[in-house]
A and B are shown apart, each in its own frame.
Chain A
Amino acid sequence: MNRIDELFLCKRNNILSIYFTAGYPELNSTATLIKLLAEGGADMIEIGMPFSDPLADGPVIQRSNETALRNGISLKILFNQLSGIRKTINIPLLLMGYLNPVLRFGIENFCKKCSETGIDGVILPDLPPEIYKKEYSGLFSRNGLYNILLISPRTDNERVRIIDSISRGFVYMVSSSSTTGVKGQFTERQIEYFRRIKEMNLLNPLMIGFGISDNSTFKEACQMANGAIVGSAFIKFLSDKKPDKVLIEGFIDRIRNSSIT
């Protein structure tokens, strides 16, 4: 069974997924961070595959992509860093990034490597559902790999149903019409949108991402979905620190349990 399905089977609420950029802050931070996050209580991890032109990302993740590329990260190196990770890590691991480096790596080879490494899902924001379904869905399912698709406030109900029907694992609900980054508390309109989608009772679990930055946004998101994804806030937190057990546990605890920083 895909570990994403396993997770949602045994846990329905307050699921915390954390995004970080591979090769950031240092080239070889990747495996260490996965271990620290899993031990620190993250339910799922999204590993960013750096790209020179991250269109859907705000400044914080843009910078982390630039730094990681300067550090020398590539897909080839990332898969090396991840080899053997399944000896110790059991939570779902996803790769998130843009289509061009994946195509350049060779999409068949990419799916095969994911499957060998124990990657459960992939998030490629610039691969639209129509193209995925037509060109790649067979390949992904042969490799037991889930492609996670996004919905946004401007995705109408009919399209949400289509995306839900193509999705496996969960549906990634982008919290506002925006690039990634921290924006403060949710507005009335966002809550209304969360409610609209929640009331649709999708086939797949729902995770809310983009702009989840603290305990209050996390808690609010968890009332409207199965869980939430923290990205920019974690990258920002990492930027001036050497990650260790205490720091990572502290970060996760603040997101889950208290708004005091």
Chain B
Amino acid sequence: MKYNVDEWGYYGEFGGAYIPEMMHSNIKLLRDNYLNIINSEDFNKEINSLLRDYAGRPSPLFHAKRLSKHYNTNIYLKREDLNHTGAHKINNTIGQILIARRLGKTRIIAETGAGQHGVATATVCALMGLECVVYMGKLDVERQMPNVLRMKMLGAEVVPVVSGNMTLKDATNEAIRDWINNPNDTYYIIGSVVGPHPYPDLVARLQSVISRELKWQLKEHTGKSDPDYIIACVGGGSNAAGSFYNYLDNEKVNLIAVEAAGKGVKTAETAATIATGSPGIIHGSRTMLIQDEDGQVKEPYSISAGLDYPGIGPLFAALNQSGRVTFESATDEEAMEAAFRLTRLEGIIPALEPAHALAVLDKIRFGLKDVVVITLSGRGDKDMAAYMSYMNRMNNIS
């Protein structure tokens, strides 16, 4: 595959493993074993049965007819929101916890922004009977309270992180520090296609089930396994990586990644990394990064906690450079409007993250015959407070 990681862990000039020596042995253990494990028969048997019977896969592909009519095109929704725990994140955590067990690890740590990855990690830890510690920025703890409560009920310890601006970047720092301090028994289940090699490749492979299913589902729906467009939101990029994975070498399929513009890419309050960043190193990976002229990481902003990250997976930095993926962005407001449109037209309340992907429908005019797939990476239960305050604001205006 043309867009695969090389033996050093790079996608072109991006990627690598910029880690302190204290992490070397654990990263090496994972790097030396992950491909063997995920290609082994027993792993595949176990993960496939869990994805089907526990997570509820395959996730449906839904032809959204009223939405299609509204935009004069053909829109299909890949329903990752219907997975157990309500997002695509479970695809990754099931895979990684099976790897952790095979590496003999007994304690699991994770970072989380929206709380979806934290919940998905706490869930598989309960399932496997492993200790679970989730780092979550204090600000995110406050704005995603339902997920905090779920993690606690699942038996995980949720550690509110008070460094930096108390969001996803800082939670990731703290998880990495935990791993440095607990190298023997601990495995770090990272939540996206970010971090040092081999994590970006590992997580992309575990999420690639999305586009694997998409191929046969589209064929059933439309007679062709290739759509004209696939659209997904990007925080770190795991749901987008999974949605694009099996189409990367098929240049006829247009791939669109949507970043969170926050209050706008021309303002300082944005999380759109490709639009506003420059090459740098974050969390062990060389990638695009929102940083100031001195190389200090800038605090990103988005209403969506899951997209509020100053970096992006190195695969996407490379896909942007090569032009294989088109990058768009959507503001808080645009995402809100798109979320309400989907809800009112199709009876589906999306999470705020994929609402950014939906917002692209208002920016790009698709053809009447085009087949457009949008990955609905999660459901909106966790975002009800934000949706209600938006609705109240709108009601007051009108």
Chain A residues with CB under 8 Å of chain B are 51-53, 55-56, 58, 62, 66, 69, 74-76, 98-105, 125-129, 131, 149-152, 154-156, 159, 163, 174, 177-179
Assess whether A101 is in contact with B22, with CB atoms less than 8 Å apart.
no
Those of B1-41 within 8 Å (CB) of chain A? 16-22, 24-26
Chain B, Cβ-Cβ closest to A54: B173
Determine the residue in chain B with the shortest Cβ distance to A155: B21
B200-241 CB mask vs A (1 if < 8 Å, else 0) is 000000000000000000000000000000000000000000
> Which residue of B164, B182, B281, B297 contacts A126 across the interface (Cβ within 8 Å)?
B281
Asked if A52 and B280 make an inter-chain contact with CB atoms under 8 angstroms apart, the answer reads no
Closest to A73 in B: B294
Indicate if the CB atoms of A100 and B22 lie closer than 8 Å.
no
CA distance A101 to B297 in the complex (A): 9
Q: Known contacts A62-B163, A150-B21, A154-B24: does B180 contact A56 (CB below 8 Å)?
A: yes
CA distance A101 to B294 in the complex (A): 6
**Min CB distance, B167 to chain A, in Å?**
12
Closest partner residue, chain A, to B25 (CB atom): A154
Q: Which residues of the other chain, B, contact A149 by a CB distance below 8 angstroms? A: 21
Is A102 a contact of B21 with CB atoms below 8 Å? no
Query: Measured between C-beta atoms, what is the minimum distance from B322 to chain A in Å?
Result: 22
Q: Which residues of A contact B291 (CB under 8 A)?
A: 100, 104
Instruction: Among A51, A52, A62, A69, find the residue whose CB has the most chain B CB atoms closer than 10 A.
Output: A52
Supplied contacts A125-B20, A178-B180, 8 more A-B pairs, CB within 8 Å: A53-B283, A53-B297, A56-B20, A126-B18, A150-B20, A155-B24, A174-B21, A179-B177
Q: How many A-B residue pairs have CB under 8 A?
A: 104
A151 to B25, CA, bound (A): 11
Q: A152-B21, A155-B21, A177-B180 are in contact. Are A126 and B296 (CB under 8 A)?
A: no
Residue in contact with B20 in the complex, picked from A55, A58, A62, A163, CB distance below 8 Å: A55
Q: Can you spell out 16 A-B residue pairs with CB atoms less than 8 angstroms apart?
A: A52-B297, A53-B164, A53-B283, A55-B284, A62-B163, A74-B294, A100-B282, A100-B289, A103-B280, A126-B20, A152-B22, A154-B25, A155-B21, A156-B25, A177-B180, A179-B181
Alpha-carbon gap, A131 to B294, bound state (A): 22
Q: Are B18 and A127 in contact (CB under 8 A)?
A: yes
Q: Kindly identify, within residues 288 to 310 of chain B, every residue whose CB is under 8 Å from any CB belonging to chain A.
A: 289, 291, 293-297
Q: Is B155 an interface position by the 8 A CB rule?
A: no
- Tell me if B176 is interfacial: C-beta within 8 Å of chain A: yes
Distance in angstroms between the alpha carbons of A155 and B28 in the assembled complex:
11
B183 interface residue per 8 A CB criterion: yes
Q: Cβ of A105: which chain B residues have Cβ within 8 Å of it? A: 294-295
Classify chain B: how many residues form its interface, as a range. 20 to 34
Q: Give CA–CA (A163, B20) in the complex, Å.
A: 13
Q: Which of B25, B176, B282, B296 contacts A155 (CB 8 A)?
A: B25
Chain A residues within 8 Å of B283, by CB: 53, 55
Cα–Cα distance between A177 and B164 once the two chains are bound (Å): 24
Instruction: Give the distance in Å from the alpha carbon of A178 to the alpha carbon of B163 in the complex.
Output: 18
Do the beta carbons of B22 and A174 come within 8 Å of each other? yes
Q: Which residues of A contact B18 (CB under 8 A)?
A: 99, 126-128, 131
B169 within 8 A of A: yes
With a 10 A CB-CB cut-off, give which of B21, B163, B176 has the most chain A CB atoms.
B21
Task: Tell me the smallest distance from the CB of B293 to a CB of chain A, in Å.
Answer: 7
Q: Check A103–B281 contact: CB distance below 8 A.
A: yes
CA distance A178 to B304 in the complex (A): 33
A102 touches B17 (CB 8 A): no
Residues of A contacting B295 in the complex (Cβ-Cβ under 8 angstroms): 51, 75, 100-105
Chain B nearest Cβ from A182, distance in angstroms: 13
Instruction: For A177, list chain B residues within 8 Å (CB).
Output: 22, 180-184
B25 A53 Cβ-Cβ under 8 A: no
Contact status B180-A179, CB under 8 Å: yes
Compute how far the CA of A163 lies from the CA of B183 in the bound complex, rounded to whole angstroms.
20
Q: Establish whether residues A53 and B173, one from each chain, have CB atoms under 8 Å apart when the complex forms.
A: yes
Quick one: which of A53, A99, A151 contacts B21, CB cutoff 8 A? Answer: A151
Chain B positions 46-101 with a Cβ under 8 Å from a chain A Cβ? none
CB pair B281–A52 under 8 Å, yes or no, is no
A151 to B22 Cα, complex, angstroms: 8
Inter-subunit contact B20/A100 (CB<8 Å)? no
Q: Which of A76, A101, A128, A163 contacts B296 (CB 8 A)?
A: A101
